[in-house]
Amino acid sequence: MTDQWSVAGRSFTSRLIVGTGKYQDFEQNAAAVAASGAEIVTVAVRRVNVTDPNAPMLTDYIDPKKITYLPNTAGCFNADDAIRTLRLAREAGGWDLVKLEVLGEAKTLYPNMRETLEATEVLAKEGFLPMVYCVDDPIAAKQLEDAGAVAVMPLGAPIGSGLGIQNRVTIRLIVEGASVPVLVDAGVGTASDAAVAMELGCDGVLMNTAIAEAKDPIRMARAMRLAVEGGRDAYLAGRMGQRRYADPSSPLAGLI
């Protein structure tokens, strides 16, 4: 039973997107990506180290021909920097599917939605396919969609916080209103959080720190794969209704 999702016309089987930051080394990172089953990884765009050009590179360990690289503008605090970064990313990688993230402040890493909307419009006009990190606001999500976002990615809690999905109501509202894929981006701390995001009907989950900072990142990557699959299945299966009080599972008739 295949259950694929697609973004901007590209289909994927795995609904888990993983970051490539904060790992001990490239070997651990590559092993975690393999264990997660992810078909997309986020990557950052940074200045090359001109004093040590032979330093190992991410592309030596995670093959961009097998795993889709999703260039990310993490660290950009205005639309202009984010747009410049993605133009460079498109030139470096040769692909248009990108992740836009324009941050508002260092303390919360909340997105600056005014700059995010502006950047989305510019990028869409330039032919980019932006997947956009955003606040958990159903109206903002629709505005991003109108501006050309190919996916909206609300936070479940602040980036790197591991607090879990703190906003189930608004995530569900975004899912109900969106006509592009919705992925929870940020906030997941452990496997059950990923399952919650999927049970809310999200198309996928993006995470980095929850895997990279686990005691055993490779095992946590596997746990996240299973949780995303489990949560998705639970969503499709349709959960039972909730009751205030007990309801016995065994027949009452025929009791001795």
Partner 1 sequence: MISIVLNGEPRQVREGSIADLVASLGLDVKKVAVERNRDIVARSTLADVMLVDGDALEIVHFVGGGC
Q: State which residue, 109 or 147, has the beta carbon closest to partner 1.
A: 109
Instruction: Give dist(CA 31, CA 22) in Å, integer.
Output: 14
Q: Binding marks (x or -) toward partner 1, 148..177, rule CB under 8 A? A: -----------xx-----------------
Q: State which residue, 47 or 239, has the beta carbon closest to partner 1.
A: 47
Single out the catalytic residue among 65, 99, 142, 215. 99
Residue that the structure tokens 């505005």 belong to? 143
Q: State which residue, 84 or 142, has the beta carbon closest to partner 1.
A: 84
Q: What tokens were used for 19?
A: 């970051």
Burial (CB count within 10 angstroms: exposed 0-12, middle 13-18, buried 19+), residue 143: middle
Binds partner 1 by CB under 8 A, chosen from 79, 207, 223, 227: 207
CB burial string 88-120: b at 16+ within 10 A, e below = ebbeebebbbbbbbbbbeeeebbbbbebbbbbb
Using the contact rule CB under 8 A, the part of the chain among 142-150, 162-170, 200-208, 233-241 near partner 1 is 200-208
Length of the chain: 256
Residue 61 CB, nearest approach to partner 1 (Å): 9
Residue that the structure tokens 């093959």 belong to? 63
What is the residue type of 252?
L
Sign of the C-alpha dihedral computed for residues 164, 99, 75 and 122 taken in this order: negative
Is-catalytic flag, 22? no
Rounded to 5°, angle at Cα 76 from 105 and 117: 85
Which has the closest alpha carbon to 179: 155, 146, 154? 146
Q: Binding marks (x or -) toward partner 1, 85..104, rule CB under 8 A? A: --xxxxxxx-------x---
Q: State which residue, 54 or 179, has the beta carbon closest to partner 1.
A: 54
**According to CB under 8 A, which residues from 22 to 81 bind partner 1?**
22-23, 26, 29, 42-48, 50, 53-54, 57-59, 64, 69, 71-72, 74-75
Residues at the site binding partner 1, with contacts judged by CB under 8 A:
19-23, 26, 29, 42-48, 50, 53-54, 57-59, 64, 69, 71-72, 74-75, 84, 87-93, 101, 133, 159-160, 185-186, 206-209, 212
Catalytic residues: 99
